[in-house]
Amino acid sequence: MVRISQKAFDRAAEFISLNARPLERARFDYHFASGSISDVLTQLRAFQNNGGGFGHGIEPDLHMPLSSPFATTLAFQVFRDLDVPGNHAAVVEGIKYFERTYDHSIGGWDPVGPRGNDFPRAVWWNYEPIDGRLGPLKQSNPGAEIVGCLHRYSGQIDHAFLQQAIVGVMEAFTALPDDMDFHALLCFMRLAEMAPGPIAEKLLAGLRRGVQRLTCEGPDDWQSYGGRPLDFAAAPGSLLSEELRDSIQLQLDFEIGLQGDDSGWQPNWSWGTV
């Protein structure tokens, strides 16, 4: 088992301090220094628009200032990480945004919308018009994760609406193969961890099969973009943390070895051209 040295950790902390956005610096300081939850939320609020949704490049691969359902899920990942209560103004506004942007004509959420094409973006955010009802893959990402957020903060929403939304994403899960898309699998993993037990139980067997297919190959396959164990069990209390324990340790050893001469870690993808 490899452990990151204090020197390497300190170098990484300096790299973050010098290069990261204020939001990521605040999150790092909260977990590893003397930063506070309020510091993180102050930086997070800079990405929130008047309508409650989030934009302004909170997703670094999409520089659109306008709100989108997908970008708003990134903010809710931070809320979950900090265990922000449901009565916090930023959460209340964000939940209302999710309710308002549910499109009944397609049966879910359009992740970004056509305006994304007006701004710098990675090629995978090029807009594709939705023709009719959402297919299983587009229903899943970010719909499954949004439904998880709605469950986590269910005191803020209409329960009839929540039941309607959950039906669509559960049907999508049933329709997807075991080797489903990495991002769809992530969204369902987050749903399972935020939703009540009965929903998690319905998802868990399929999630186990999907995660094992994506992560079992080990470091030889981790050089390129794709699922790694920590994507699906980011904390000790994660649903699959125990069964992924050995592969998580293998990944940690692998990641420690990738620290560059500049003290940071390089992404294993590129934008391409738009």
pLDDT at 148: 98
pLDDT at 217: 66
pTM for the model stands at 0.95
The CA-atom distances, in angstroms, between 251 and each of 236, 238, 256 are 15, 16, 9
Q: Is residue 153 part of a domain?
A: yes
Q: Is the pLDDT of residue 269 over 90?
A: no
pLDDT at 220: 79
pLDDT: is 217 or 270 the higher one?
Answer: 270
pLDDT at 207: 96
Q: Is residue 152 part of a domain?
A: yes
pLDDT band at 229 (very low <50, low <70, confident <90, very high): very high
Residues contacting 199, CB < 8 A, separation 6+: 151, 166, 170, 191, 192
What is the identity of the amino acid at 85?
P
pLDDT in tens, 184-210: 999 999 999 999 899 999 999 999 999
pLDDT in tens, 105-130: 999 999 999 999 999 999 999 999 99
Q: Is residue 201 part of a domain?
A: no
Whole-angstrom distance, CA of residue 6 vs CA of residue 83 = 28
Average pLDDT of the residues in 246-252: 93
Q: Is residue 189 part of a domain?
A: no
Average pLDDT of the residues in 35-49: 98
Q: Is the pLDDT of residue 43 over 70?
A: yes
Q: Is residue 92 part of a domain?
A: yes
pLDDT in tens, 133-153: 999 999 999 999 999 999 999
pLDDT: is 217 or 64 the higher one?
Answer: 64
Mean pLDDT, the chain, integer:
94
For residue 121, the cross-strand partners are 62
Q: Is residue 233 part of a domain?
A: no
8 A C-beta contact, residue 186 and residue 137: no
pLDDT in tens, 72-102: 999 999 999 999 999 999 999 999 999 999 9
pLDDT at 273: 57
Q: Is residue 59 part of a domain?
A: yes
Q: Is residue 162 part of a domain?
A: yes
Backbone angles phi, psi at 103, to 5 degrees: -105, 105
pLDDT in tens, 231-241: 999 999 999 99
Give me 172's structure tokens.
């999508």
Q: Is the pLDDT of residue 170 over 70?
A: yes
Count of alpha carbons within 13 angstroms of residue 174, beta-carbon side: 8
Specify the number of domains making up the chain: 1
Cβ atoms within 10 A of the Cβ of 89, count? 11
Query: 44 lies in which domain range?
Result: 22-175
Max distance between CA atoms of the chain, in angstroms, equals: 55
In the chain, % of residues over pLDDT 70: 98
